[in-house]
Amino acid sequence: MKKIFAYLVLFTILLYGCDESSTNGVIQTDGSTNQIAVEVVEVIDGDTIKVKYNGDIEKVRYLLIDTPETNHHTLGKQPFGEEAKQRNKEILKSGNVTIEFDVGNRLDDYGRMLAYVYVDGESVQETLLEEGLARIAYIFPPNTRYLDEFEEASKVAKERSIGIWETDNYVTNRGFNTEVLTNNNAEEKSTTEQCNIKGNINRQGKKIYHIPSGKYYEQTNPEEWFCTEQDAIQAGFKKSGE
Protein backbone atom coordinates (compact mmCIF):
# COMPACT_ATOMS: atom_id res chain seq x y z
CA MET A 1 0.00 0.00 0.00
CA LYS A 2 2.89 2.36 0.85
CA LYS A 3 4.50 1.60 -2.50
CA ILE A 4 1.27 2.45 -4.32
CA PHE A 5 1.02 5.76 -2.42
CA ALA A 6 4.67 6.58 -3.26
CA TYR A 7 4.04 5.88 -6.95
CA LEU A 8 1.00 8.16 -6.87
CA VAL A 9 3.02 11.00 -5.33
CA LEU A 10 5.80 10.54 -7.91
CA PHE A 11 3.27 10.50 -10.74
CA THR A 12 1.71 13.76 -9.48
CA ILE A 13 5.11 15.48 -9.32
CA LEU A 14 6.00 14.36 -12.83
CA LEU A 15 2.60 15.44 -14.16
CA TYR A 16 2.40 18.94 -12.65
CA GLY A 17 5.98 19.72 -11.75
CA CYS A 18 7.28 20.68 -8.32
CA ASP A 19 6.61 24.41 -8.86
CA GLU A 20 2.94 24.07 -9.79
CA SER A 21 -0.33 23.09 -8.12
CA SER A 22 -3.76 22.39 -9.57
CA THR A 23 -6.99 23.64 -7.98
CA ASN A 24 -10.31 22.74 -9.58
CA GLY A 25 -8.45 21.97 -12.79
CA VAL A 26 -6.76 25.41 -12.94
CA ILE A 27 -2.98 25.24 -12.98
CA GLN A 28 -1.23 27.59 -10.57
CA THR A 29 2.43 28.30 -9.85
CA ASP A 30 4.43 28.85 -6.68
CA GLY A 31 5.55 32.37 -7.58
CA SER A 32 8.86 31.59 -9.28
CA THR A 33 10.32 34.43 -11.33
CA ASN A 34 12.30 32.07 -13.52
CA GLN A 35 12.16 32.91 -17.20
CA ILE A 36 11.56 30.02 -19.57
CA ALA A 37 12.98 30.06 -23.08
CA VAL A 38 10.37 29.59 -25.83
CA GLU A 39 10.26 29.71 -29.61
CA VAL A 40 7.76 32.11 -31.16
CA VAL A 41 5.69 30.35 -33.80
CA GLU A 42 3.19 33.11 -34.66
CA VAL A 43 2.33 36.66 -33.65
CA ILE A 44 -1.47 36.81 -33.53
CA ASP A 45 -1.80 40.45 -32.49
CA GLY A 46 -0.30 42.97 -30.08
CA ASP A 47 -0.97 40.94 -26.95
CA THR A 48 -1.24 37.30 -28.05
CA ILE A 49 1.30 34.94 -29.59
CA LYS A 50 1.84 31.25 -30.24
CA VAL A 51 4.98 29.62 -28.89
CA LYS A 52 6.60 26.22 -28.71
CA TYR A 53 6.62 25.34 -25.00
CA ASN A 54 7.68 21.96 -23.64
CA GLY A 55 7.36 20.52 -27.13
CA ASP A 56 3.78 21.74 -27.63
CA ILE A 57 2.36 24.76 -29.46
CA GLU A 58 0.64 27.02 -26.94
CA LYS A 59 -1.13 30.37 -27.14
CA VAL A 60 0.26 32.98 -24.76
CA ARG A 61 -1.81 35.95 -23.63
CA TYR A 62 0.26 38.84 -22.27
CA LEU A 63 -0.52 39.52 -18.62
CA LEU A 64 -1.92 42.91 -17.52
CA ILE A 65 -2.11 44.58 -20.94
CA ASP A 66 -4.56 44.93 -23.81
CA THR A 67 -3.95 46.16 -27.34
CA PRO A 68 -6.54 47.20 -29.97
CA GLU A 69 -8.02 44.41 -32.07
CA THR A 70 -6.83 43.55 -35.56
CA ASN A 71 -9.57 41.16 -36.68
CA HIS A 72 -12.17 40.71 -33.96
CA HIS A 73 -15.43 38.93 -34.87
CA THR A 74 -17.53 41.80 -33.45
CA LEU A 75 -15.15 44.74 -32.92
CA GLY A 76 -13.41 44.35 -36.26
CA LYS A 77 -10.16 46.23 -36.84
CA GLN A 78 -9.48 48.96 -34.29
CA PRO A 79 -7.13 51.96 -34.69
CA PHE A 80 -3.54 51.13 -33.64
CA GLY A 81 -4.29 47.41 -33.61
CA GLU A 82 -2.14 46.69 -36.64
CA GLU A 83 0.61 49.00 -35.36
CA ALA A 84 0.66 47.12 -32.05
CA LYS A 85 0.85 43.77 -33.84
CA GLN A 86 3.68 44.84 -36.10
CA ARG A 87 5.63 46.40 -33.23
CA ASN A 88 5.13 43.24 -31.17
CA LYS A 89 6.45 41.15 -34.05
CA GLU A 90 9.42 43.47 -34.52
CA ILE A 91 10.39 43.26 -30.84
CA LEU A 92 10.05 39.48 -30.69
CA LYS A 93 12.34 39.08 -33.70
CA SER A 94 15.07 41.17 -32.12
CA GLY A 95 16.40 38.61 -29.61
CA ASN A 96 15.82 35.57 -27.44
CA VAL A 97 12.27 35.22 -26.13
CA THR A 98 11.42 34.04 -22.64
CA ILE A 99 8.21 33.90 -20.61
CA GLU A 100 7.53 34.17 -16.89
CA PHE A 101 4.46 33.05 -14.98
CA ASP A 102 2.91 34.83 -11.99
CA VAL A 103 1.65 33.33 -8.73
CA GLY A 104 -1.97 32.89 -9.80
CA ASN A 105 -3.74 31.03 -12.58
CA ARG A 106 -1.54 30.01 -15.47
CA LEU A 107 -4.40 29.62 -17.94
CA ASP A 108 -7.26 31.96 -18.84
CA ASP A 109 -10.84 30.96 -19.66
CA TYR A 110 -9.83 30.26 -23.27
CA GLY A 111 -7.00 27.91 -22.38
CA ARG A 112 -4.28 30.43 -23.20
CA MET A 113 -1.20 30.62 -21.01
CA LEU A 114 -0.92 33.90 -19.10
CA ALA A 115 2.62 35.21 -18.94
CA TYR A 116 5.06 38.09 -18.91
CA VAL A 117 7.05 38.10 -22.13
CA TYR A 118 10.67 39.18 -22.51
CA VAL A 119 13.23 39.63 -25.28
CA ASP A 120 16.81 39.44 -24.04
CA GLY A 121 15.48 40.13 -20.56
CA GLU A 122 13.54 43.28 -21.52
CA SER A 123 9.78 43.33 -20.91
CA VAL A 124 7.72 43.38 -24.11
CA GLN A 125 4.68 44.52 -22.13
CA GLU A 126 6.49 47.58 -20.77
CA THR A 127 7.73 48.54 -24.23
CA LEU A 128 4.24 48.38 -25.77
CA LEU A 129 2.81 50.42 -22.89
CA GLU A 130 5.54 53.04 -23.05
CA GLU A 131 5.12 53.44 -26.81
CA GLY A 132 1.38 54.00 -26.51
CA LEU A 133 0.33 50.76 -28.15
CA ALA A 134 -1.30 49.07 -25.16
CA ARG A 135 -3.40 49.87 -22.11
CA ILE A 136 -3.27 48.26 -18.68
CA ALA A 137 -6.15 45.81 -18.34
CA TYR A 138 -7.40 42.50 -16.96
CA ILE A 139 -6.01 43.03 -13.47
CA PHE A 140 -6.86 39.83 -11.62
CA PRO A 141 -4.93 39.37 -8.35
CA PRO A 142 -2.68 37.71 -7.51
CA ASN A 143 -1.31 37.99 -11.07
CA THR A 144 -0.15 41.57 -10.52
CA ARG A 145 3.59 41.22 -9.94
CA TYR A 146 4.66 44.03 -12.29
CA LEU A 147 1.58 46.25 -12.15
CA ASP A 148 3.47 49.21 -10.65
CA GLU A 149 6.16 49.06 -13.34
CA PHE A 150 3.53 48.78 -16.06
CA GLU A 151 1.62 51.77 -14.72
CA GLU A 152 4.79 53.87 -14.84
CA ALA A 153 5.41 52.80 -18.44
CA SER A 154 1.83 53.64 -19.41
CA LYS A 155 2.14 57.03 -17.71
CA VAL A 156 4.98 57.94 -20.08
CA ALA A 157 2.77 57.37 -23.13
CA LYS A 158 -0.19 59.22 -21.60
CA GLU A 159 1.91 62.28 -20.80
CA ARG A 160 3.28 62.33 -24.35
CA SER A 161 -0.20 61.73 -25.86
CA ILE A 162 1.11 59.14 -28.28
CA GLY A 163 -0.48 56.11 -29.93
CA ILE A 164 -3.76 55.11 -28.32
CA TRP A 165 -3.57 58.24 -26.14
CA GLU A 166 -3.62 60.68 -29.08
CA THR A 167 -7.40 61.02 -28.94
CA ASP A 168 -9.24 61.75 -25.70
CA ASN A 169 -11.60 58.99 -24.53
CA TYR A 170 -10.40 56.43 -27.10
CA VAL A 171 -9.01 54.38 -24.20
CA THR A 172 -11.68 53.31 -21.70
CA ASN A 173 -11.88 50.92 -18.77
CA ARG A 174 -13.70 48.46 -21.02
CA GLY A 175 -11.46 48.68 -24.06
CA PHE A 176 -11.17 51.05 -27.00
CA ASN A 177 -13.96 53.38 -28.12
CA THR A 178 -13.69 53.49 -31.90
CA GLU A 179 -16.75 55.76 -32.13
CA VAL A 180 -14.72 58.66 -30.71
CA LEU A 181 -12.36 58.55 -33.67
CA THR A 182 -15.23 58.08 -36.12
CA ASN A 183 -17.01 61.16 -34.74
CA ASN A 184 -13.82 63.21 -34.85
CA ASN A 185 -13.22 62.26 -38.49
CA ALA A 186 -16.80 63.20 -39.35
CA GLU A 187 -16.36 66.60 -37.71
CA GLU A 188 -13.10 67.19 -39.59
CA LYS A 189 -14.77 66.21 -42.87
CA SER A 190 -17.67 68.55 -42.16
CA THR A 191 -15.26 71.40 -41.47
CA THR A 192 -13.32 70.67 -44.64
CA GLU A 193 -16.50 70.65 -46.70
CA GLN A 194 -17.42 74.10 -45.36
CA CYS A 195 -14.01 75.47 -46.37
CA ASN A 196 -14.90 75.24 -50.06
CA ILE A 197 -13.67 78.57 -51.44
CA LYS A 198 -10.83 78.04 -53.90
CA GLY A 199 -7.83 80.35 -53.97
CA ASN A 200 -5.94 80.36 -57.24
CA ILE A 201 -2.87 82.24 -58.48
CA ASN A 202 -2.98 82.86 -62.24
CA ARG A 203 -0.09 83.19 -64.69
CA GLN A 204 0.20 86.91 -64.03
CA GLY A 205 0.62 86.20 -60.33
CA LYS A 206 -2.80 87.57 -59.40
CA LYS A 207 -4.54 85.97 -56.45
CA ILE A 208 -8.14 85.14 -57.31
CA TYR A 209 -10.69 83.26 -55.23
CA HIS A 210 -13.68 81.35 -56.59
CA ILE A 211 -16.90 80.55 -54.75
CA PRO A 212 -18.86 77.31 -55.48
CA SER A 213 -21.48 79.14 -57.58
CA GLY A 214 -18.83 80.81 -59.74
CA LYS A 215 -18.54 80.11 -63.47
CA TYR A 216 -14.97 78.79 -63.32
CA TYR A 217 -15.16 77.12 -59.91
CA GLU A 218 -15.16 73.49 -61.11
CA GLN A 219 -12.24 73.90 -63.51
CA THR A 220 -10.10 75.83 -61.04
CA ASN A 221 -7.23 74.01 -59.33
CA PRO A 222 -6.83 75.66 -55.90
CA GLU A 223 -3.52 76.58 -54.33
CA GLU A 224 -5.37 77.32 -51.10
CA TRP A 225 -8.77 76.69 -49.52
CA PHE A 226 -10.76 79.26 -47.54
CA CYS A 227 -13.77 78.86 -45.26
CA THR A 228 -15.12 82.38 -45.86
CA GLU A 229 -14.68 85.11 -48.44
CA GLN A 230 -13.30 87.32 -45.69
CA ASP A 231 -10.55 84.77 -45.07
CA ALA A 232 -9.64 84.88 -48.77
CA ILE A 233 -9.60 88.68 -48.87
CA GLN A 234 -7.40 88.87 -45.77
CA ALA A 235 -4.97 86.51 -47.50
CA GLY A 236 -4.68 88.94 -50.42
CA PHE A 237 -7.08 87.25 -52.84
CA LYS A 238 -9.70 89.05 -54.92
CA LYS A 239 -13.02 87.58 -55.98
CA SER A 240 -13.25 86.25 -59.51
CA GLY A 241 -15.04 88.82 -61.71
CA GLU A 242 -16.91 86.40 -63.94
Looking at the structure, tell me whether residues 13 and 89 fall in a common domain: no
**pLDDT, tens digit, for every residue of 21-40?**
444 444 555 667 899 999 99
153 and 61 housed in the same domain: yes
- Is 125 among the domain residues? yes
Q: Residues 127, 139: one domain?
A: yes
Determine, yes or no, domain membership for 190. no
* Lowest-pLDDT range of 18-22, 94-98, 201-205, 226-230: 18-22
Q: What confidence tens digit (pLDDT) does each residue in 135-191 have?
A: 999 999 999 999 999 999 999 999 999 999 999 999 999 899 988 876 555 444 444
- Asked whether residue 53 falls in the same domain as residue 82, the answer is yes
151 with 208, same domain: the answer is no
DSSP-assigned states of every residue in 199-234: EEE-TT--EEEE-TTSTTTTT---SEEESSHHHHHH
Q: What is the pTM of this model?
A: 0.66
Classify residue 148: in a domain, yes or no: yes
**Whether pLDDT at 218 is above 70:** yes
Residue 189: inside a domain:
no
Q: Which residues contact 96 (CB under 8 A, 6 or more apart)?
A: 37, 119, 120
Chosen domain end from 163, 184, 205: 184
Task: Just list the catalytic residues.
Answer: 61, 69, 112
Q: Do residues 100 and 199 both lie within one domain?
A: no
Do residues 21 and 39 both lie within one domain? no
Report if residue 97 sits inside a domain: yes
Residues ≥6 apart with Cβ < 8 Å to 235: 199, 207, 224, 226
Tell me if residue 18 falls in helix, strand or coil.
coil
Q: Are 151 and 134 in contact (CB under 8 A)?
A: no
Clarify whether residues 213 and 137 are in a common domain: no
Domain extent at residue 168: 31-184
* pLDDT bracket for residue 134 (50, 70, 90): very high
Please indicate, yes or no, whether residues 36 and 61 belong to a single structural domain of this protein: yes
Of the chain, the percentage scoring pLDDT greater than 90 comes to 56
Domain CATH for 167:
2.40.50.90
